[in-house]
Chain A
Amino acid sequence: MNAQVKAISYYLPEKIVTNKDLCDIFPSLTEEDLLKKTGIRKRHVTSKDLLGSDLAYLAAEKLFKEHNINRSSVDFLIFCTSLIDQAGPAAACILQHRLELSTNCGAIDIAFGCTGFTYSLGIAKGLIEGGLATNILILTAEVSSLVTHPEDSELRIIFGDAAAATLVSSEKESLSFIGNFSFGTDGSGGENLIVRRSGIRNPVDQEWLKEHEAIGGLKSGRLEMNAIEIFSFALRVVPPMFVDILKKNKLEQKDIDLFIFHQANGFLLSVLRRKLKISEDKFFTYIEEVGNTVSASIPIALCEAIKAGKAKKGQKIMLASFGIGYSWSGTIITL
């Protein structure tokens, strides 16, 4: 029994923030510099009444429609986001009802960020190959803008909001499959990318609300990133992960048709590509139009690679992610 990526769709909130918009807000920035340093031209941002689970709902509806999928066939739902709606009930349970999925469908939330898609894919593979489920809907959704300080230009330049819906199905006689995984974790880097005051350990208090009163209170917490440490971390862990993914799948670099990494930022991706000696035509990026959409970035890029004819049936595609945690993981899928 093979688990395979069957279909992907994604949804972007309507509001767009261009580099020009950011340069108007932060006069020290220039459009040319922003594009050169990040590879990003624009990003979509959500509104306060459209949370991750709402974007995920819209992405799932798009998936059912675009790929003519019978929603009653879904027997497991994984909802992954770094900003959960609430501690309970799981947003996945609410989504089961909103999406009118079968009540025989399992549903869990995974609170994870940049590596959320590859981890969800690994869990989906395990559920399918263990005989526990046959059609798994993975919804990865991110709303970083809701926890970004409006004066934090660095974060506003990089991150975009989005949701992706991916159907992973079991296939008896198919050449398409999800390969073996490399996973990694180093919690010592937790402080370098963190949403402060976002949970019950250290919730917002009166002092915090007062301090941030002029910008609406930052009631759901504040995203903070030490970009330099994150950059250094990625350069440290991605090359050995790359080797490990190939080794676990008994493949060599030349066997891979396309590489899709977490779309963190254009500069980091180009440094990693050169370091790993991957040719430009085999290294697919989709960041210019959407920014870094955290756990939605790989499925969005994969969806665009398929649309562009860069990822084709039968090809081997390496997916690799790294980020908040620190956490990293990757696999090779055969489309």
Chain B
Amino acid sequence: MDINELIKNLASEFEFDDPSKLTATTSFRGLKEWSSMHALIIIALVNSEYDVIITGNDLMQISTVQDLFDIIISRKK
């Protein structure tokens, strides 16, 4: 799998008009739109697209899109 695909999916689920503002180094909590709803969207997306469970604790530990990608890779069956 490819991190660009994850970025594209996240930008789409977050309903960003400008998908380019999301990159591998983007910090989720640094996004001006960030809310708890975005955390739920990430959990739902990762579960439906990659069949991986992300917990609230995981999201507390990570910062960037790359960190999320790394978790997905490490847990992907």
Contacts and interface: CB of A to CB of B under 8 A. Distances in A.
Given A37-B37, A227-B36, A227-B40, A232 B48 contact: no
A235 interface: yes
Contacts of B43: 228, 231-232, 235
B44 interface: yes
Interface stretch (A110-118, A179-187, A267-275, A310-318): A267-275
Q: Secondary structure of the B side of the interface?
A: helix
A154 interface: yes
Contact of B44 (A154, A192, A226, A271): A271
Nearest to B39: A228
B71 to A, nearest CB: 13
Interface bracket on A: 10 to 19
A154 B55 CA distance: 19
Nearest to B55: A232
Interface string A38-75: 00000000000000000000000000000000000000
Contact of A236 (B44, B48, B53): B53
Interface in B1-60: 36-37, 39-40, 43-44, 47-48, 53-57, 59
Interface residues of B, number: 14
Contacts of A235: 43-44, 47, 53
Contact of B40 (A192, A228, A236): A228
Q: Secondary structure of the A side of the interface?
A: helix
B57 A229 contact: yes
A37 B43 CA distance: 15
Contacts of A231: 40, 43-44, 56
Contacts, number: 40
Interface in A260-287: 267-268, 271, 274-275
A226 B48 CA distance: 21
A232 B36 contact: no
Interface string A96-122: 000000000000000000000000000
Interface string A213-255: 0000000000000111101100110000000000000000000
Contacts of A274: 48
A232 B44 CA distance: 8
Given A228-B59, A275-B47, A275-B48, A267 B53 contact: no
Nearest to A36: B37
A271 B56 contact: no
A192 B55 CA distance: 12
Contacts of B57: 229
Interface centre among A154, A231, A274 (most CB of B within 10 A): A231
Interface centre among A37, A228, A274 (most CB of B within 10 A): A228
Given A271-B44, A271-B47, A275-B48, A232 B54 contact: yes
Contacts of B40: 227-228, 231, 267-268
Contacts of B36: 154, 227-228
A267 B57 CA distance: 20
A235 B53 CA distance: 8
A192 B56 CA distance: 10
A275 B47 CA distance: 8
12 contacts: A227-B40, A228-B39, A228-B59, A231-B43, A232-B43, A232-B56, A235-B44, A235-B53, A267-B37, A267-B40, A268-B40, A275-B47
Interface of B: 36-37, 39-40, 43-44, 47-48, 53-57, 59
Which 9 pairs show the lowest CB-CB distances between chains A and B? A228-B56, A229-B56, A271-B44, A232-B55, A228-B39, A235-B47, A236-B53, A231-B40, A232-B43
